[in-house]
Amino acid sequence: MKQGIHPENYRFVVFQDMSNGISFMTKSTAPSKENIKWEDGNEYPLIKIEISNTSHPFYTGKMKLVDTAGRVDKFMNRYKDHLGKKK
């Protein structure tokens, strides 16, 4: 492993899965503008994520579509003429 390329400023951070509300704490260097009070009574930086191992279909075994940016709708509108045709 190369020396001097990894950050030194790791701190405890709470990640919150926005699709199911589950939170977990780990160390990270990611910046955050929000804080949250954790189970131990201390305040930690909060980083909101859209999907984690608690909501990802690979880990849960359930197929679930998470589309917060409207990408699926945009795709369907763009290719709606082609989707109905069969060769």
Domain limits for position 60: 11-83
pLDDT at 63: 65
* Residue 3 forms part of a structural domain: no
pLDDT at 80: 77
pLDDT at 85: 63
* Residue 5 forms part of a structural domain: no
Show the low-confidence residues of the chain (pLDDT under 50). none
Structure tokens at 55: 């909501």
pLDDT at 35: 96
* Residue 1 forms part of a structural domain: no
- Give CA separation, 21 vs 6, 67, 76, in Å: 31, 16, 29
Taking the whole predicted model, whether its pTM rises above 0.75 is answered as: no
Task: Supply φ then ψ for residue 10, to 5 degrees.
Answer: -70, 140
Domain count, the chain: 1
pLDDT at 52: 82
